[in-house]
Structure formats: structure tokens, C-alpha cells
Structure 1
Amino acid sequence: MDLLVANSSRRRLRAQIRDAWPPSSWPAGTDQEASRHGVTVPAGERRRLTTVLRPTRRGDRQADRVTVRSYGPLGLAARQGSHRVPWTVRVLPPFASRKHLPSKLARLRELDGRTSVLTRGEGTEFDSLREYVPGDDTRSIDWRATARQSTVAVRTWRPERDRHILLVLDTGRTSAGRVGDVPRLDAAMDAALLLTALASRAGDRVDLVAYDRRVRARVQGRGAGDVLPAMVQAMATLEPELVETDARGLSAAALAGAPRRSLVVLLTSLDAAPIEEGLLPMLSQLTQRHTVVVASVADPRVDAMTESRGSTEAVYEAAAGAQAQAQRRNTAEQLQRHGVTVVDAKPEDLAPALADAYLALKAAGRL
């Protein structure tokens, strides 16, 4: 941020200026140095000061005030005044999983049959006819087209395009839990951004609904070039709400956001109680009309607990970790029996795992 300090008096200005912002605008312990500036401005001149912000959290940052302390000629006395300023800086959510996008796009090109390997494009949507080459699947031979020409013709296929994907972010109390250094909600956002970038490049349409007891954010009807920036802006100010998510309302919001057959991706928790008491009774309404994926952030600390040994406390800790894993597997199995695809991965693995699940569904023609 730039400050323009103008001295309209007939005397030289010597001052200390503090450009105050919320504490999360800088790494801990660096705010004193970053927000304070010493300046000398001759009479009738101006100076530009730059405050470098390094926010540690996403969301809107509202400037507090600019305080000026000007010193007298001998430096023995000073006057101080503050000015309210209307500046706001929006910190966008990080897109750490962007590094996985090239490899997922390469896999997408293989599904489209746009690589030099001797395999047909996967999918269920007919693309074109071409001459047979050794290595092609003989089941792809088009015998009618072959009869009309002197060479063997095979059908090529591509994944379905222009499909609809609805991302549903659960912003209820379970999304506030921290896994490692980040809340579950932030890891879910990162996965949603990677899937949005991949699906938009694949020719599919992506919408977003963030919900707990009411709709917190919505992105709808954006084109391929606009959807990712719109998602980032909508997610920037989202915060977990310490309330139990209304599963009935969440299902209604998903059905309203997907009026025709779609891929509905629920980014929520796999905790037994919220799933069994909230989501499972409402799940049939979604699976009857849509393909449903449930993506959840797993806690690597639980895996570490199960390996604890060497003392009584460590054994109890291992037992607790094993019980938590068993409950999580049981919840995932219940969802799978309802036809739901479950993606359960650690924060750093959730985004690529969800992208892989999307590509697998696309290759199988289930979108």
C-alpha cells in the first residue's frame, strides 16, 4: 500500500508515520517494523511511502488508521494526530494444488485421445472414425464403415462434455477443525479450486454453493474463463460457522443448484454422527438424480496415533486411533452402499485425489 505524504507548511516536516492494519496482515512479530516509517518532507513537497503487507490469513483486511507524529525543530516536543482511512485489501485463498494441474490435464488429454499413444480416447461420446492401427481395441472396429472403404475403420471416443458439476462446501462446525496448520475448510477450498480448473478445461460447467444453515456463497452460470476467478473471490471471505449443518437444507440447496443430472461433490466431514444423523437420511434424494462424490479431509495425526507404542499411554492412544479409523471406514462404507464415491485423503493429498476421482468418473461415462 502506498501513502502520499504532503507538507503544505513553510517548514520542513520530520515525522514518524504508522500505517495500522490488523495483526494478520504480517507474519507474527514483524508488524512493528513493517507498519512504521520515518520521513522528512521539505516545505511544499511530497513523499511516497510504501507499506508492504504479507497477510497470513485470507479474507478482507480493513485499514485501521494512519497516525502521524511530527517533531519540532530540536526534537524535544512532538504533535500526534490520526486519520481514518477507507482502504480494504482482499486476501484470496491460496491455490497450493495448482502444481498438480499439468499432470491432471495430461491425463485429460489421454482420455480425449489427443496423445500419440496407441489407445483410443476413453469415454462414451462418439468422436470420429479413423484407420485401424496395430494395438487398437478390435471391439472399436466399425464394420459398416469398413465395408464402405478399402481399409479397416475404428471408432474413436471422447469423454462427455458440457456436463454440470456442483461443488457443495460444508461451512458448518466440522469445517472449523484444524488438521495440521490449516482448517478443514481451507483444504476443501484448495481441492475445489483444482477441480474447478480441471473441469473447466475439460469443457464442463462448474457451480459452487457454500452452506451450513443458509447459503453463505454461490457461484452460478459462469463461463470457462470466468469461473475460477469467481470461485476464488467467493471463497475469500468464507469462514466456518460454529453451528451444526442443516442436512435437509444442504440437500435442498444442492437440488436447487442442480436442476438436471449433475455431478454433486460434497466437501464435508466423514465424522460418524453428522453423516449418520444428518446426511444419510437425505442422501437418497441426491443419488436418485445425480452422481454424488463425498470428499473429506483425513487427519494424519490419527495415523500417527495408531503406531504409538512403548508405554501405557501410548497403547491407549493407539487404541483410540484405531477406533477412529474404524469408525471412519464404516462411515465411508455406508456411503458407498448408497452409490456414493468417497474420497478420503490428507490435506495435501485431497485435491489430487478428488481430481483423479473426477477423471475416473469421466472416463467411465458416469457424469
Structure 2
Amino acid sequence: MEFDHVRDYVQGDDYRRMNWKASAKVKKLMINQFEEEKSQPIYSFIDTGRAMRMPFEEMTLLDYSINATLVLSNAAILKHDRAGMLTFSKEIGNQVVAEKRNNQMMRISEALYHIQTEFQESEFGNLYTYANKHINKRSLIFIYTNFETLDALNRQLAYLRMLNRSHILVVIVFQNTELDELAKSSPHRTIEIYNQIIAEKFIYEKNLIIQELHRNGIQTIYTAPENLTINSINKYLEIKARGLI
């Protein structure tokens, strides 16, 4: 419930909602009127670890994630939801709590300004601890990260499962478009054949990552970096249309 307005007291109203300051000012009983909070918290968690340094079309995965976060946050606010964000690597970085403020987009933009990747592997345990302590309401959480191997996912999977129990979790898995092109090429030399086999192995590993996330009930977006923004918006609208938040 959130505060809506102050109105005259009517017999039977809950006295605990009495506004004594307003009552004293107008010399009659006044009460606070509340309405059900319908807006939902929409969070973007952006990984700033070394895995996000990978470049595509002169932009890193972090750059694509920042752009998607800005557009998604704006769309959520226009849909009367509450947008928030945080960055994380070994520790929690910049953060903006999902709130209804007129300057919320400015706060998010400022928090994302000059964000850079780090050289450490990200720690999802600290991310879970922060979310469990500070995000009390069930939220829609997009995690912009990059798992290249099944082992990398399995090291963090327990924390993702725990997050998914309390919130609606969407994990972004980036498609390596350069490897896709290499796998579809027609090799002629031995080294080209070898490179194609390695590319096919990495693509197979990505599919295993998607399957493992789905097997644990975690929603995913498997996308080429350049399509991340539109696919994030579509996923948000899909989840709202299904009434999951």
C-alpha cells in the first residue's frame, strides 16, 4: 500500500491511519488514504567482470548492457513500474534503488556514467547477499552477464537458483556471432578446419548453458549483442503480459 491523499474521517475508519497534524490544522478529524501499490520493481544487474570485456562491432558486452539497461529502465517507468539498477563484480558497485521519483532516469544515467569492466571474475555470492538484504519485494531482475563455459555457470548456479526463488530472474546469455559465422564457413586449409571445430564446440557449450538454466527454472535471453536492447524490452513486456509480476 502507498499513500494517496488525506480525506475526512468517516466512522469505522482505522484510527491508526489518523493524520493528527492535518486534523489540528483544519480542526476536524482527517485520515490518510492509501491505495494498493501496483507498480513493480524492475532491476538491471550489470556484471562488470572480465567476461564483459569481449568486443563486438567496436563495443564491449558491457556497453551493450548499459544501453539495454537505459532503454529498459525508461520503458519500465513509462509502464508505471519502478526501475532500479546495480553493477557488480567482486563487490557491489554503483546502485540505484527502484523507486518512484521524477528524476529516476537521471539517477540511473549518472550511476552508469563511466562504468568500466574490471579484470576479476565476478562474485555472485555477494550479489545474492545484497539482493537478499536490500530487495524485499518480489522483483523482475535482469542479469547482464556472460557465461562462456558450463563450468563458469556451475560455479554461480547455486546463487542464481536462490535469487530465482525470491524474484523473477532473467539471465542474459550472449551469442558469439563471430563464432557462428566461423562455424558456418567453408574451410579449405587444415588450420581453418581446426578453427571451425573449436567454434562448433563453443556454440555447443552455449546451448548446454541455456539448457542448464532452463532445467533450473531460470528464464534466459539468448541474443546477439546488437539485438540485446530489443530482446530485453520484449522479455519485459512478455512477463508483464503473462501477469508474472
Q: Which TM class, normalised by the smaller chain length?
A: 0.7 to 0.9
Match in the other structure for 2:104: 227
Match of 1:288, SS state, is helix
Match in the other structure for 1:240: 117
Q: How does 1:306-317 map to 2 (within 5 A)?
A: 306-311=183-188, 312-317=190-195
User: Runs ≥4 in structure 1, deviation > 6 angstroms?
Assistant: none
Q: Which moved more, 1:325-334 or 1:254-263?
A: 254-263
Match in the other structure for 2:164: 287
CA distance in 1, matches of 2:113, 2:227: 22
Match in the other structure for 2:205: 327
Count of residue pairs the alignment pairs up: 207
Q: Give, as a single letter, the amino acid of the residue that structure 2 aligns with 1:275.
A: L
Match in the other structure for 1:346: 224
CA deviation after TM superposition for structure 1 residue 361, in Å: 0.6
More strand by share: 1
Contact 2:161-2:218 within 8 A present in 1 as well:
no
Residue 56 of structure 2: which of 167, 176, 179 is its match?
A: 179
CA distance in 1, matches of 2:101, 2:71: 14
CA distance in 2, matches of 1:256, 1:298: 32
Match in the other structure for 2:182: 305
Identity %: 22
CA deviation after TM superposition for structure 1 residue 227, in Å: 1.9
Gaps of 5+ in 2: 1-36
Match of 2:166, SS state, is coil
Match in the other structure for 2:4: none
Residue 214 of structure 1: which of 91, 96, 101 is its match?
A: 91
CA distance in 2, matches of 1:302, 1:327: 12
Gaps of 5+ in 1: 1-159
Q: How does 1:126-165 map to 2 (within 5 A)?
A: 161-165=38-42
Contact 2:140-2:169 within 8 A present in 1 as well:
yes
C-alpha distance after superposition, 1:116-137 (max 9, x if no partner): xxxxxxxxxxxxxxxxxxxxxx
CA distance in 2, matches of 1:337, 1:166: 23
* TM-score normalised per structure 2: 0.80
Q: Give, as a single letter, the amino acid of the residue that structure 1 aligns with 2:121.
A: E
CA deviation after TM superposition for structure 1 residue 304, in Å: 0.8
* CA RMSD across the alignment: 1.6
Bigger relative CO (Cα 8 Å, ≥ 6 apart): 2
* TM-score normalised per structure 1: 0.54
CA deviation after TM superposition for structure 1 residue 237, in Å: 1.8
More helix by share: 2
Contact 1:200-1:224 within 8 A present in 2 as well:
no
Contact 2:51-2:147 within 8 A present in 1 as well:
no
Residue 276 of structure 1: which of 154, 163, 178 is its match?
A: 154
CA distance in 1, matches of 2:177, 2:105: 29
